[in-house]
Amino acid sequence: MMPERAWIPVALSHVIEAGTSAGALIDGAELVVWRDRKGTAHIWEDRCPHRGMRMSFGFVRGDHIACLYHGWQYDAAGQCRHIPAHPDLEVPATIRIATYAAEERNGIIWTCLAEDADIAGIPDAAGTATPVRSLYVDCSMETAAAALARASLPVEGGPDEPAAVAELLPGSWLLCAGATRIMIAAQPVNRGKIALHIVLIDARGGSALPKAVARWAAALRLRLEAIPAPIATPEYA
Ligand code: FES
């Protein structure tokens, strides 16, 4: 489990288009990531207080999101504002959804499950990000960190080169080889599963390098999933 205060990536920014929503997991906790029509990202608990429908199945209407099941509408603060079956009802303030911080940096959407989130704690690779892809991988955070520490990266016009690796924050790394710089931010999805959100930083040229890094990432997933998981030691041993 990551520390409650840590900023955690939940998606690449470009994947959540204005007016859309998607589900995300952090250590098994179900979240909805949605973007209003003006482009602001929101991250909430993925559960309607009425009958528990996932809000990630809902519809974005302007700066509100409406539940798929009975159409209750929630404003950007998570407060229910409209119940279609009772259009004249002044909705009680207690009908609201838990909301979390949502910030974007380096082409990645981040959240922090603590209430007093300080955006200074979000990792920053200091450059212009080009999205590559998100990978869901059956391995632990520790396995990924160990493999990335000795990774090689695609570079323009030559074979892969060993990368210099800097840990920006636990679970976030900057890998550099030649002119290739990539940021990888890991999301703890569930026990034994993580998501790696990958962006190129200050990429030059056309689409060749992003494609090469996307292929590299796919091979990385295969390598990570081939590493045997450590055998848990029983507490009585
Ligand atoms: S379950 Fe969401 S409006 Fe009924």
**Ligand 1 contacts CB of residue 86 (under 6 A):** no
Asked if the structure places residue 236 within a domain, the reply is no
**Ligand 1 contacts CB of residue 69 (under 6 A):** yes
**Ligand 1 contacts CB of residue 145 (under 6 A):** no
Mean of the per-residue pLDDT values of the chain: 93
**CATH code, domain carrying 182:** 3.30.530.20
Residue nearest to atom 3 of ligand 1 (CA): 70
**CATH code, domain carrying 23:** 2.102.10.10
pTM above 0.95, yes or no: no
Residue 3: pLDDT above 60?
no
Rounded Cα–Cα distance for residues 85 and 70 (Å): 8
Asked if the structure places residue 26 within a domain, the reply is yes
Are 116 and 133 found together in one domain? no
Are 136 and 78 found together in one domain? no
**pLDDT, tens digit, 9 for 90 and up, residues 197-211:** 999 999 987 778 899
| The pLDDT value given to residue 1 | 45
Collect all residues with Cβ–Cβ distance below 8 Å to 215 and sequence separation of at least 6.
154
Asked if the structure places residue 185 within a domain, the reply is yes
Are 77 and 138 found together in one domain? no
Residue 182 Cα to ligand 1 middle (Å): 41
**pLDDT, tens digit, 9 for 90 and up, residues 40-74:** 999 999 999 999 999 999 999 999 999 999 999 99
Measured from the Cα of 53, ligand 1's closest atom is: 1
Rounded Cα–Cα distance for residues 114 and 177 (Å): 35
